Amino acid sequence: MFYFDDFYGKKILKSSLLSDYNCFFTTREFVLTSKDRIDLEKTAENNRLFLKEKLNAENIITANQIHSAHTEIINKDNIFYDNTDALISNIADTLFIMNFADCVPIILYDKTTNTGAIVHAGWRGTAQNIAQKTILKMQKELNIKPKNITALIGPAIGKCCFETNADVFNQLIINKQDLSLYEKKNDKYYIDLKLLNYNQLKNAGVENIDICSYCTCCMSDIFFSYRKENGKTARHSAVIKIKRG
Ligand SMILES: [Zn+2]
């Protein structure tokens, strides 16, 4: 179950599945990156300093997200990953974030080994199975068992607002019989990106999944929405700090 919580006076969103971990989603009140909003640059910079101080971390590791299916395991020498849409780490005390405005943010965490990952799954990443690829990489390269992974599918654009044309629909929906995944109205398709990612995680062997019902476009007073704000927006973030085992 998702619930709003307070991070030293700033509103964040957490899940009861990882309530004892530093794994959460930020809101408009706690912007860490501004990207298309120059006016928020200073606020975001101050908030990053605040986050590092409160979580007692030297760096905030992040990536330049490009809607790919490229995943990286964080190494100690690199704090910025170019052209990467999922970051994975099993290094104690590592603090890392990825940034979102409508795309699906996924936090993965294995409590038995203290290994975490953040996935950025927009429609392109979802079509390229980035969530499933991240699980496979954790399994192959770090010996993580999918059944030990807890997954949080965070706030993202919902089926209510993710209107697409046939081109995007055909790339995303393989099984057109599965009417839980989309609705068709006139010539438009309304697609459930969160459910598509949920299915990918299930297929990869993840059993413990919390899925957030909030739509970022409907709730743009709390989260950032690229679609609602016509691209002129900042980002909310998914945050993980790896626990020391
Ligand atoms: Zn909506």
Residue-wise pLDDT tens digits, 224-239: 999 999 999 999 999 9
* Percent of the chain topping pLDDT 70: 100
C-alpha 160 – ligand 1 centre gap (Å): 4
Residue-wise pLDDT tens digits, 201-224: 999 999 999 999 999 999 999 999
Output the average pLDDT for the chain: 97
Torsions phi, psi for 93 (to 5 deg): 75, 0
Torsions phi, psi for 22 (to 5 deg): -85, 70
C-alpha 161 – ligand 1 centre gap (Å): 4
C-alpha 158 – ligand 1 centre gap (Å): 5
Query: What is the second-level CATH architecture of the domain 2-241?
Result: 4-Layer Sandwich (3.60)
In the chain, where are the structural domains located? 2-241
Instruction: Tell me if the pTM is above 0.85.
Output: yes
Place of tokens 């971390």: 57
C-alpha 218 – ligand 1 centre gap (Å): 4
Which pLDDT score, from 0 to 100, does residue 190 have? 98
Q: Would you give the end-to-end CA distance of the chain in angstroms?
A: 25
Angle at 168 (CA atoms; ends 165, 169), nearest 5 degrees: 80
Residue-wise pLDDT tens digits, 28-48: 999 999 988 999 999 999 999
Tokens of 111: 């409590």
C-alpha 216 – ligand 1 centre gap (Å): 7
Q: Residue 151, CB half-sphere, CA atoms under 13 Å: how many?
A: 27
Which pLDDT score, from 0 to 100, does residue 205 have? 98
**Does residue 196 register a pLDDT over 90?**
yes
CA-closest candidate to residue 236, choices 87, 60, 44: 44
Stronger pLDDT, 37 or 12, i.e. the higher one = 12
C-alpha 163 – ligand 1 centre gap (Å): 10
